[in-house]
A and B are shown apart, each in its own frame.
Chain A
Amino acid sequence: MNFRILYIDDEADIREVAVLSLELDPDFAVRACASGPEGVAAAAEWKPDLILLDVMMPGMDGPTTLAKLREQPETAEIPIVFITARSQQSEVEHYLSLGAKAVFAKPFDPMSLAPSVREHLEG
Chain B
Amino acid sequence: MTGGWRSRDSLGELPGIVVAAIAVVAFILLVSTVLLSLQFDRDRDLYSEVTRSYEYRARIQSLLSMHQDIETGQRGYVLTGNQAFLEPYQRGAAQVDGAITTLHTQNSASALQPELEHVEDLTRQKLEFAETTIRLVASGRREEARQLIGSGRGKAIMDEMRLHVAHMDTIMKEQLERRSALAERSRLRTQWLSFALQIILILLLTYAAVRASRSIAAEREAGERLQALSARQEAIFDAATDGMVTHDEHGVIQNLNPAMAKMYGYRTEDLVGQNVTTLFELPPEQAALEKFLSQLAADPEGRASKVQEFGARRSNGTTFPVDVATSHVPLPSGSCFVAVIRDASERKRMDRMKSEFVSTVSHELRTPLTSIAGSMGLIAGGAAGEIPERAKRLIEIAHSNSQRLVRLINDILDIEKIESGRMDFHIEPVPLRTAIEQAIETNKAYGEEYGVTFRLDPGGDGAVVLADPDRLAQVLTNLLSNAAKFSPKGDQVTVRIDPGKGLHRFTVSDRGPGIPANFKSRIFDKFAQADASNTRQKGGTGLGLSIVREIVTHLGGSVSFASDPGQGTSFHVELPAAPSEPQA
Contacts and interface: CB of A to CB of B under 8 A. Distances in A.
Interface of A: 11, 13-14, 16-18, 20-21, 24, 56, 84-91, 106-111
Contacts of A13: 368, 371, 375
Contact of A108 (B355, B368, B370): B370
Contacts of B358: 88
B417 A20 contact: no
27 contacts: A11-B367, A14-B374, A16-B371, A17-B370, A17-B378, A21-B374, A21-B383, A24-B381, A85-B365, A85-B366, A86-B362, A86-B363, A87-B362, A88-B355, A88-B358, A88-B359, A88-B417, A89-B423, A91-B359, A107-B370, A107-B402, A108-B370, A109-B373, A110-B373, A110-B374, A110-B377, A111-B378
B398 interface: no
B204 interface: no
B374 A17 contact: yes
Given A14-B367, A90-B424, A85 B362 contact: yes
Nearest to A113: B374
Nearest to A54: B367
Given A85-B362, A86-B359, A90-B424, A108 B374 contact: yes
A17 B417 contact: no
B406 interface: yes
A30 to B, nearest CB: 13
A95 B189 CA distance: 108
Nearest to B374: A17
Interface string B46-69: 000000000000000000000000
Contact of B374 (A18, A88, A91): A18
Contacts of B363: 56, 84-86
B418 interface: no
A14 B373 CA distance: 10
Interface string B252-263: 000000000000
B378 A110 contact: yes
A4 B369 CA distance: 26
Listed residue (B366, B369, B370, B424) with the most chain A CB atoms within 10 angstroms of its CB: B370
Interface residues of B, number: 28
Interface string B501-536: 000000000000000000000000000000000000
B367 A85 contact: yes
A61 B338 CA distance: 48
A64 to B, nearest CB: 17
B392 to A, nearest CB: 15
Contacts of B374: 14, 17-18, 21, 107-108, 110
Contacts of A107: 366, 369-370, 372-374, 402, 406
A108 B375 CA distance: 11
A24 B383 CA distance: 7
A11 B383 contact: no
Contacts of A56: 363, 367
Contacts of B384: 20
Nearest to B381: A111
A85 B377 contact: no
Contacts of A111: 377-378, 381
Interface in B144-197: none
A11 B377 CA distance: 18
A108 B374 CA distance: 7
Contacts of A86: 359, 362-363
A109 B381 CA distance: 11
A84 B362 CA distance: 10
Nearest to A11: B367
A110 B381 contact: yes
Interface string B387-419: 000000000000000100010000000000100
A87 B410 CA distance: 10
Nearest to B358: A88
A106 B359 contact: no
A17 B424 contact: no
A13 B372 CA distance: 9
Contact of B375 (A17, A90, A91, A106): A17
A20 B380 CA distance: 13
B367 A20 contact: no
Contacts of B359: 86, 88, 91
Contacts of A16: 371
Nearest to B426: A89
Interface in B328-367: 355, 358-359, 362-367
The 4 closest A-B pairs by CB, nearest first: A17-B374, A85-B366, A13-B371, A107-B370
Contacts of A18: 374
B371 A11 contact: yes
A47 B367 CA distance: 28
A13 B369 CA distance: 10
A22 to B, nearest CB: 11
Nearest to A112: B377
Nearest to B369: A107
A107 B365 CA distance: 10
A15 to B, nearest CB: 9
Contacts of A90: 424
A24 B368 CA distance: 22
Given A21-B378, A89-B424, 14 more contacts: A11-B371, A17-B375, A17-B378, A20-B383, A24-B381, A56-B367, A85-B363, A85-B367, A89-B423, A106-B369, A107-B373, A107-B402, A109-B373, A110-B377
A85 B370 CA distance: 9
Contact of A20 (B372, B378, B424): B378
Listed residue (A17, A85, A90, A108) with the most chain B CB atoms within 10 angstroms of its CB: A85
